[in-house]
Amino acid sequence: MAYTFLKSFLTPILMLLFRPKVTGLRHVPNLGPVIVASNHLSFSDSVFMPLVVPRKVTFMAKSEYFTSPGIKGFIKKITFQALGQVPVDRAGGRRSEAAIRTGLKLLEEGQCIGIYPEGTRSPDGRLYKGRIGIARMAIDSGAPVVPVAMFNTAEIQPTGQVVPKVRRVEMVFGEPMYFTGDSSDLATLRQVTDEIMQGIQKISGQVYVDMYASDAKNAIAEELKKNEEN
């Protein structure tokens, strides 16, 4: 109910202010399980993309989005709840396993789930190494993976900015990708994940970096800290 209301309310605003240019939306099936795998440049990715997809897209969002303090945290929480997002702890180990099980359950129910394979927003606009959880969900569920490229969202809503700037947003949906294999084999999971990232890069045109975005963020933070000390 809340999802339908919020989408009905926000979609006209999106169309009027941000004039979305959407390509390849036909690649998202109207029925059945599907994984929408997107690059991740901004918080607003999780708002813009679900609004243009005709069916409900359920993102397994970081639990921090539901527990952040202050006004910004409150806005994130109610927005994600209204959009039907599912909070998961992706800190690793058993917590990551729980997130994968949640995704598989949603796919078993025939839902469309959204995933950012990089695991976090890109710190510099480049495309980073994907986490292998998406590969396991794709193989075990048999669901197609539709790669998506978001454009301009980092400029529309940079990290730390609550109110987005009014600029045109663009989204490109690629052709569905299907995967089979042994989901218990790490080499297979890595290969499948890399193929998904290649699919995203093909339509996004981003420079690919063979390291995790979280590691890149840590390296940037360390460099800034050193510069401040010097």
| Terminal-to-terminal C-alpha distance of the chain | 54
pLDDT at 25: 97
pLDDT at 91: 55
Interval 176-205: pLDDT, tens? 999 999 999 999 999 999 999 999 999 999
132-153 burial: b if 16+ Cβ within 10 Å, else e: bbbbbbbbbbebbbbbbbbbbb
pLDDT at 230: 67
pLDDT at 84: 67
pLDDT at 42: 93
Interval 32-58: pLDDT, tens? 999 999 999 998 898 899 889 999 999
Average the pLDDT over 91-105 and give the result. 77
- Single-letter amino acid, residue 106: L
Q: Residue 55 is part of a domain; what is its CATH number?
A: 3.40.1130.10
Please state the pTM of the whole predicted model: 0.88
Neighbours of 2 (CB within 10 A): 11
Question: What is the chain's mean pLDDT, rounded?
Answer: 88
pLDDT at 55: 92
**132 and 189 in contact (C-beta within 8 Å)?**
yes
Q: Quick one: CA dihedral 28, 84, 96, 63, positive or negative? A: positive
Q: In what order do the strands lie in the sheet with 112-115?
A: 21-23, 170-173, 145-151, 34-38, 112-115, 57-62, 86-88
Interval 111-167: pLDDT, tens? 999 999 998 899 999 999 999 999 999 999 999 999 999 999 999 998 878 788 999
Highest mean pLDDT among 66-70, 73-77, 129-133, 220-224: 129-133
pLDDT at 112: 97
pLDDT at 93: 56
CA within 13 Å, CB half, 190: 6
Q: Which domain holds residue 19?
A: 2-229
Neighbours of 228 (CB within 10 A): 7
Domain count, the chain: 1
Q: Which residue has the tokens 């979305």?
A: 20
